[in-house]
Copies of this chain bind each other. A is one copy, B any other.
């Protein structure tokens, strides 16, 4: 009998819940018109869009006027960094951690060429807060951009001191919350904040940018564009709002359940030989765990687990079907090859995890023996 597949690659993507699917259907039925026009159909679309913005703002604890949709988190990073940097043209540097997303690093390199100053993290992925405080208070800093939680190893940063250092230095702080909103409380001290609907159970194809009142920026893009050049899909926005509300209502229960499943994975995997479990075991996202396996490559592990019915992630996947070594793992001093990321979504059951943990050692042995390496026990 073919058992159903188990999707454990949920950071930034997951199957849609029935409520989110219903919201999409309603959004395409009632929100297909261009929200920028004058007629009834457009007013209806505009109402759905405004309501979606309000619902997301409400969960995030900000006002609706502060929330902007973008076509992706890439566009949010690009425009937020370029816009803030342009308003602070006398300053030419950006302070980031060593484990920021590629999309953020590339946006920073484009807006502030030769101006990136990277602050190290420790072996659990926590930012060197003293080094950050020193860097941000030096002259010539246009902005700082720090993630709330890491999408690969799950470590959650201690943002309070980071935010107060930036505020004391008068440097705008961008928080990348694209892996945390929907899983943790929204951070409250920032000037710009970026979130990712597909990470909280919404459909792919949308980003969210929040800006605190008083955050200065200047357009670094063609006239007529706001944060979303040409607008965004109203049904995607509506479904994203419904997904966040659903996630928020169930967050305590889901986080507890996911956290316990991840703890079970961490404890079991730690027993296997030649495996390092990465990231902070306590200050972490509830649903993510990554481990590095000696004597294997991540691509083979992902492929072999996929054949067994388990979807997991590894390193930085790219469209060509090959993997690049993870900059995040290199920054915490971990093995950059042979890593597996397990990211749970609310539909994953205890039984799914047990089956995964039963299959994993066999798969590891198989891959290792193909490469002539020691077995896992």
Chain B contacts of A207 at CB under 8 A?
A: 230
Tell whether A13 pairs with B33 under 8 Å between CB atoms, given A203-B233, A222-B109.
yes
Question: A304-318: which have CB < 8 Å to B?
Answer: 306, 311-314, 317-318
Chain B proximity mask over A98-123: 1 for CB below 8 Å, otherwise 0: 00001100110110000000000000
- B41 contacts A28, C-beta separation under 8 Å: no
From the candidates B25, B78, B236, B306, name the one contacting A233 in the complex (CB within 8 A): B236
Give the contact stretch, choosing among A69-77, A182-190, A261-269, A362-370.
A69-77
- For the complex of A and B, the 3 pairs showing the least CB-CB separation, nearest first, are A72-B230, A205-B233, A74-B230
- Separation in Å of the A243 CB from the closest CB of chain B? 12
A207 to B228, CA, bound (A): 13
A223 located at the interface, meaning its Cβ lies under 8 Å from any Cβ of chain B in the complex: yes
Interface-centre pick from A35, A37, A198 (highest chain B CB count, 10 A): A37
- B41 contacts A7, C-beta separation under 8 Å: yes
A142 located at the interface, meaning its Cβ lies under 8 Å from any Cβ of chain B in the complex: no
A235 located at the interface, meaning its Cβ lies under 8 Å from any Cβ of chain B in the complex: yes
A231 located at the interface, meaning its Cβ lies under 8 Å from any Cβ of chain B in the complex: yes
Question: A195-247: which have CB < 8 Å to B?
Answer: 198, 203-205, 207, 221-225, 228-236
Tell whether A225 pairs with B306 under 8 Å between CB atoms, given A16-B28, A75-B71.
no
- B34 contacts A204, C-beta separation under 8 Å: yes
**Interface residues of A, Cβ cutoff 8 Å to B:** 5, 7, 9, 12-16, 21, 24-25, 28-29, 32-42, 46, 71-75, 78, 102-103, 106-107, 109-110, 198, 203-205, 207, 221-225, 228-236, 299, 302-303, 306, 311-314, 317-319, 321, 323
Tell whether A38 pairs with B78 under 8 Å between CB atoms, given A110-B223, A203-B233.
no
Question: Closest residue of chain B to A104, judged by CB?
Answer: B222
Tell whether A38 pairs with B75 under 8 Å between CB atoms, given A21-B28, A28-B24, A233-B203.
no
- A32 contacts B13, C-beta separation under 8 Å: yes
Q: Can you list 10 contacts pairing A with B, beta carbon distance less than 8 Å?
A: A14-B32, A36-B318, A38-B317, A40-B311, A46-B319, A71-B71, A103-B222, A204-B231, A205-B231, A205-B236
Chain B contacts of A73 at CB under 8 A?
A: 230
- A232 contacts B203, C-beta separation under 8 Å: no
A235 to B239, CA, bound (A): 13
